[in-house]
Amino acid sequence: MDDDLLAEAQALLGLKEKSALVREALKALIERESARRLAALGGSEPGLEPIARRRSFPA
């Protein structure tokens, strides 16, 4: 592992333990990749039945 990179990340996050740093890095990686995959789906499902929406009426 790159010791300089680890030291910089520890300083930025205020973490002293390398295991905590790796845990946070893995969480961030999983979150980023999950969001990327969701965005890649494009938000469309052509065969999906229309979903009833709530209508807001003026008060």
Specify whether the CB–CB gap between 8 and 18 falls below 8 A: no
Which tokens hold the place of 7? 């030291």
Coil, strand, or helix at residue 1? coil
Domain locations along the chain: 3-38
User: pLDDT per residue over 5-18, tens digit each?
Assistant: 999 999 999 999 99
How far, rounded to the nearest angstrom, does the alpha carbon of residue 36 sit from its chain's CA centroid? Answer: 8
pTM comes to 0.62
Specify whether the CB–CB gap between 35 and 41 falls below 8 A: no
Q: DSSP letter at 14?
A: T
Strand (E) or helix (H) holding 55? none
User: pLDDT per residue over 1-51, tens digit each?
Assistant: 899 999 999 999 999 999 999 999 999 999 999 999 988 888 777 788 888
